[in-house]
Amino acid sequence: MSTIVSNLDSATCVPTILSPKLVLEAESIHIAINDVSILSDVSIVAHSGELFTVMGPSGSGKTTLLNTIAGRRRPQSGFIKLNGNVMDKKLRRRLGFVLQEDTFFASLTLKETLYFTAMIRLPEVIPKAEKLQQIHDLSEILGVRKCWNTISLKSRADLFDGFDSGIGDMFNPGLSGGEKKRASIICELLTNPDILLLDTPSCRFMMRGQVRDFIAEGTS
């Protein structure tokens, strides 16, 4: 991972450029809904090794901009470019996008969630042991490893070593909101994106030294 573009409602975050390799551009983006302008002539430039934060009040179009960069919304005019090339389906595979709302199966444990994500999204040629190691390493870095081993469930011990700390929902609380957000981030980091978009991450997460280490290394 080499670029993080985030959306914060409040905080101060100064971009830190470390080793430019990629250039992400939003050029003169315009989006209107029912003749109401949401984004008008918006342009940004973000480089590899840069922690770039989009700030503004609620309803100012931050999420719309991120959705446009990620290809989830088409602008009426303007372009999204990566290294000067208009973003297409192939280039978009280099992006990771952590949505504002965390969506998980409430009955799965944290490790199950990460395990199935890795099995589905990572190439089959990558050995299972390597995928599990990646899950372990990212969980350690983002501080959710402690959430794995809450209650042992012997019927699933062979596959998951007996983890039973469910993700949870509003009726069956499991992980905290911050832990769910970090789990969402890990799910995207598993694919080793060149650019990671985060819609409303916590400022506490963005200030973690490990995040800057990711950016400095250029890989995840």
Amino acid at 98: V
Answer whether residue 8 is part of any domain: yes
Q: Could you tell me the pTM of the whole model?
A: 0.76
At 179-193, the pLDDT tens digits run 888 888 899 999 988
- Looking at the structure, do residues 28 and 62 belong to the same domain, yes or no? yes
| Angle, vertex CA 30, rays to CA 29 and CA 31, nearest 5 | 125
Answer whether residue 149 is part of any domain: yes
Number of domains in the chain: 2
At 188-218, the pLDDT tens digits run 999 988 888 988 776 565 555 666 666 666 5
Domain range holding 121? 101-192
- Looking at the structure, do residues 168 and 111 belong to the same domain, yes or no? yes
- Looking at the structure, do residues 90 and 110 belong to the same domain, yes or no? no
Answer whether residue 208 is part of any domain: no
Residue 216's nearest CA partner among 36, 16, 14 is 16
Element (H, E) at 4: strand 3-8
